[in-house]
Amino acid sequence: MRFLALIAAVAAIWTGPAFAAGYNDFEGRWRNADPRTSDLTRLRIRFDGAGLDVRAWGQCEPRDCDWGRVDAVAYAPVPGANPVTSATEVIAIYNPGFARKTVILTLRPGDRLSYAIYTHYTDGSRRRAFVTRGTMIKRGWPGGGGGWPGDDDDGEGPGPGRVGITLFEHTNYDGASRFLNGDTPNLAMLGWNDIASSLRVRGSEAWEVCEHVNYAGRCRVISEDVPNLIPGGWNDAISSVRRYRDEPGGPGGPGGGEGELSFEEDCISINPSLVEARLTGGEWKVVQGSNWLLSFGLRVVEAQRAANIIRHYRFTQQCFIGRGGNGMTYWKRGDRVPSGGIPGDDCNRVDPDSVQARRFGASWRLVDGTSSIFDFGPRGDLARQAEELVRHYRLGEQCFVGRPNPPMTYWLGE
């Protein structure tokens, strides 16, 4: 954490004062102002419903090298400010296998980003660490050249064949537009709350639009283009959008839940839309208001990812089988455990039909064949409850944030 703070400070000194903005100003496609650059050639920055992700390309021959897509952390200029509306810098960290590249992006006036890339080699080659700097120009900005060859090959834009839904500011697909290809629980974070007057659907999927954030209030299923949202009272009335699924539950659908458990579950209620990663008392914690749920110490990236996971799966309950050192944690949405997955999930597959509570000496463990899933110490009653729970909810994956010794463990259904 001190390292990131130090390099951010150095970057700020080199580039001058940042331009106060927010997620909207970072989003989009960017190219290097120097066509002869030997490092960063282009960026694609996107809001994924929970935070910003950044996909980067570097200079290679015969075509640019794809560094991949990572979850980024946005920073506001002062404590207590909301990065969604006031972020001035974004930090994205890439690990291509031979080095650690820390990329700091700072907004500048005129649809420009200044960048600093800190490269630290991790391949044992003894090459020295170094920093490169430059400027990115947003695609389509006057003088920006309108993009670069092949800039639509990342598969993320609303081009031909891309599945998603496009919101338009006016009827008959006129005015400003916004393309979405994933669940978006709060359009206000994109500056699109109560703005859409017509919609276009790409692909064969149906979409659900709702009048309040987090898919609350009235909702309507859209499976074809709608040139005019005024009939039915939907003009300027959409605040959240998600893919429509026949089954309840959201991303991936629910997992298990047939019958009743033989014990009463120990759960606390949470509101995923209020969950965030925050520096509290010198530690990064996942909090809801004044209540903290998880503690990650100095690991800001992992704390931010945990908050993103809670928001993505829309977990509404944090549950426990036993608390303290011998307790197992799981998360639910309503009375279900979601399934599916998102890029970067760190999960181990589990066969719920083969899971057993078994005793090994003085210790009771939940096992899947020869693999140990969880050690309950002397608490055989908790191990048996865990076995029942896994089968009840048909839990097929045990997932972690921050291994080894992960501060967050969650399960996904089959």
> What was the pLDDT predicted at 330?
94
Strands 40-47 and 52-58: antiparallel
pLDDT at 178: 83
Q: Name all domains of the chain by residue range, CATH numbers in brackets.
A: 2-138 (2.40.128), 164-243 (2.60.20.10), 254-413 (no CATH)
- CA pair distance 337, 410, nearest whole angstrom: 10
Q: What is the DSSP secondary-structure string of 57-123?
A: EE--SSS-EEEEEEE-EEE-SSTT--HHHH--EEEEEE--SSEEEEEEEEEETTTEEEEEEEEEE-S
Angstrom distances, CA of residue 145 to CA of 34, 54, 106, 107, 140: 12, 22, 21, 19, 7
* Residue (of 186, 228, 184, 176) closest to 207 by Cα position: 184
Per-residue pLDDT for the chain (414 aa), expressed as one digit of tens each? 444 545 444 444 444 455 556 788 898 889 999 988 888 999 999 887 678 889 988 887 667 777 888 889 999 888 888 888 888 999 999 886 678 899 999 998 888 999 999 998 887 888 899 999 999 998 743 333 333 434 444 444 454 446 789 898 888 888 888 888 888 888 887 778 899 999 988 877 788 888 888 777 777 888 888 989 987 788 999 998 988 764 434 444 444 445 678 888 999 898 888 888 888 888 999 998 888 899 999 889 899 889 888 988 889 999 999 887 778 999 999 888 988 777 778 899 999 888 998 888 888 889 988 888 889 888 888 989 999 999 999 999 999 998 888 999 999 987
pLDDT number for residue 61 = 66
Distance CA 370, CA 44 (A): 44
Give the model's pLDDT for residue 245: 63
Q: Report the C-alpha gap between 181 and 237 in whole angstroms.
A: 20
